[in-house]
Structure 1
């Protein structure tokens, strides 16, 4: 077998079909029957592509996508869903999906699409180390630096800083931060966001009381200036 594909779907029949399609394309398939199981696997193992259903009990496909992108996991994602509305496909792509395929699908075409997605991703693989102003990060090891100094960050702080570094000068509302970093579109916990903003400022700012990088935009949220 060659590259590894994670199949995330709670329908055993669909999973069985997708496993066969992957095998026919010399791809090793691993199945997660729920969004929760998928997140556990993604934090423990590496994959070359993810086939992701939307409609699942508990953590649905959109939630999985938000969480894995919030954690800096860049594995290419193809949503394979029975939902065919334009809104669903556009929303999935806006969250970081690389492709959107509706059910029922043609197995031969889907297999070719997955193989092509993996091939394209490997061909355009970005350098492991990226930079933004004085900050840099190793996307493979999830290590962050300011100049030559490595920043000692918690997992949530890494996700928050990564969000800022990837979108410099963009204003993020508290809703947007909570949804991207915590993967929760429910009621925003303002106190939690403020605690993590202050913690991150204490590690990236020369003077936390007079921040130069993580700025408060009154009435809106926060903006990162590299």
Structure 2
């Protein structure tokens, strides 16, 4: 059964983006737009993790966290906030949050952080898939956030890592340029086809035997790319 995520954010575009990130990571999600709605949901429903914005319309996310901890709810909370002051992150962690992520965030990296937090917080033994990814000659260790091919570490940049992680989560599926842009860059404005192509080629150069004749990252004309394993 998929883990359940409660998303608490008053920005509709952020809620939709977070839902997409959860979906691609195999997680179920529900959304609310206010602190009071979150508290009401948590009275009658159980979740495996809560993604909490700080600036909500009716109250601060900090107040929601304090209330649920006072109520004995131990569900792990990841704060996702546009406020990046050290005080905010230290305060959030001190009142019971488990992690603090600032906006703008890279969706693929956020997905990895959510899964890592779930893995740490589960009382029972994690399912095999949550311990890492093994796909053909490729593997990914979420604890070290390192990638390997045939046991040899791949030295990747941040965006190359985000791109490969997206492919590993979606083997043999066509991924559009729009999806790549959303999950790697996390931006909603104009998609830069050239930038995507540059990083595809860089990644091919590190994982393909012959980058000019790729067998893993295959171009699907007019649609996007497929990671073939």
Match in the other structure for 2:64: 18
Equivalent position of 1:125 in the other structure:
126
Per the normalisation by structure 1, the TM-score is 0.60
Three-state SS of the structure 2 residue aligned to 1:123 is: coil
Q: Is the 8 A contact 1:168 1:224 kept in 2?
A: yes
Write out per-residue CA displacement over residues 98-133 of structure 1, whole angstroms, 9 at most, x where no aligned residue.
Answer: xxxxxxxxxxxxxxxxxxx89984436245332011
Q: CA RMSD in A?
A: 4.0
SS in 1 for 2:160: helix
Query: Does the 8 A contact of 1:214 with 1:224 survive in 2?
Result: yes
Structure 1 pair 169/122, CA: closer, same or farther in 2 (3 Å)?
A: farther
Aligned to 1:182: 185
Moved more, 21-30 or 208-217: 21-30
* SS in structure 2 of the partner of residue 37 of structure 1: coil
* Rounded Cα–Cα distance in structure 2 between residues aligned with 1:200 and 1:160: 8
Of 209, 213, 226, 2:212 maps to 209
> Contact 1:50–1:75 (CA<8 Å) still a contact in 2?
no
Q: Secondary structure at the match of 2:139?
A: strand
Q: Which residue does the alignment assign to 2:143?
A: 140
Q: Give the match for residue 107 of structure 2.
A: 66
Q: Which moved more, 1:212-221 or 1:120-129?
A: 120-129
**1:157 and 1:209 mapped to 2: Cα distance?**
18
Contact 2:76 / 2:98 at 8 angstroms: preserved in 1?
no
Once residues 27 and 65 of structure 1 are traced to their aligned partners in structure 2, the CA distance between those partners, rounded to angstroms, is 27
Corresponding residue to 2:81 among 28, 31, 34: 34
Residue 34 of structure 1: CA displacement? 3.1
For structure 1, the 5+ residue unaligned runs are 53-57, 78-116
Q: Tell me: CA distance 1:48–1:210, structure 2 relative to 1, closer, same or farther (3 Å).
A: farther
* TM-score using structure 2 length: 0.60
Map 1:72-87 → 2, pairs under 5 A: 72-75=112-115
